[in-house]
Amino acid sequence: MPEVKAFIYDDIPIHNVEFKSIPGADPVIKLLDAEKNVLKEVQISDMSREKINALMQNFGFFKKSQPGEPVPSEKISGPYHVFSDDL
């Protein structure tokens, strides 16, 4: 799971993404609506860092290329895309 850890600790500065550590739990991405209802849950333990980043981009999240980079207005709040097929 080194790829997942690299994503969590190095790539998480993605706008509107929050990391919550749950000891013993498999790493998952949960996409929530404005009321915090889970819209989609994706198991990421066997994914590469590259694939997880592509998945987040596919869902419409914005990843800053450097700290302090402004977030485009259309990416400030959801809804983001939820697709039936991941990648």
**Cα separations in angstroms, 3 against 30, 35, 59, 74, 84:** 18, 31, 20, 29, 24
For 9, list phi and psi in degrees, rounded to 5. -90, -20
45 belongs to a structural domain: yes
For 23, list phi and psi in degrees, rounded to 5. -55, 130
Write down the pTM of the prediction: 0.77
13 belongs to a structural domain: yes
- Tens-digit pLDDT profile for residues 11-70: 876 667 778 889 999 999 988 877 888 888 999 999 999 999 898 888 888 887 877 788
87 belongs to a structural domain: no
DSSP state of 84: S
Domain total in the chain: 1
86 belongs to a structural domain: no
26 belongs to a structural domain: yes
Residue 79 above 60 pLDDT?
A: no
Range of the domain at 20: 2-75
CATH code at position 34: 3.40.30.50
